[in-house]
Amino acid sequence: MTKLAIVYYSAFGTGHAMATRLAETAEKQGAEVRLRRVRETAPDEVVQGVDAWAAHAASVADQPVAEPDDLAWADAVIMGSGTRYGHVTSQLQAFIDTLGPLWQEGKLADKVYSAFTSSSTLHGGQESTILAMITTFCHFGGIIVPPGYTDPTKFEDGNPYGVGVVTDDSDELSETDLNALDHMVERVLEVAGRLRD
């Protein structure tokens, strides 16, 4: 059984919906999954000042928070972050910054990694955000498994680096989004399984 850690940050809910879909699909494929959000690092007065942000924070408050051990445990890791000026959120970066001890011990190497993101505008920094996560995975010594154009759905969503979604007020994922997420996690599990065997 492949052990998959899905570690993500979501301010308004789209990233959470994406991570949840990845986890559900992975479990259907027989993986053992740890779905973990990263800690909110923005000041509470800032979060509470934006209704959608405050509502989402309240809705996930009782859900598990990512710890470095979740990556040490995993055979494969999928990270997700909204775009912030073409880069990962400070919240996800704060979590990544806690991984130094594991990195020094080589405990982040030789795992399969992939990534997802969302933005409020078309493109909106999606590819550069995923590439920023891929750069981190390179430093880990990770085995990067992008979806590429390995399935017809990738010609619909158009992102070979990972999965990127354009958000709207509903945080509903389209059929194309769902198919792209399913394909990515299935590919990650397939490659991780081959490496484990």
pLDDT tens digits, one per residue of 39-75: 999 999 999 999 999 999 999 999 999 999 999 999 9
- Measured N-to-C along each axis, helices 175-196 and 14-28 cross at an angle, to the nearest 10 degrees, of 50
* pLDDT tier for residue 170 given thresholds of 50, 70 and 90: low
CA nearest to 34, candidates 13, 54, 20, 46 = 20
Cβ neighbours for 62, distance < 8 A, ≥ 6 positions apart: none
DSSP state of 172: P
Query: In CATH, what number is assigned to the domain containing residue 74?
Result: 3.40.50.360
pLDDT tens digits, one per residue of 108-165: 999 999 999 999 998 899 999 999 999 999 999 999 999 999 999 999 999 999 999 9
Show the domain range for 56: 3-196
Q: What is the total count of domains within the chain?
A: 1
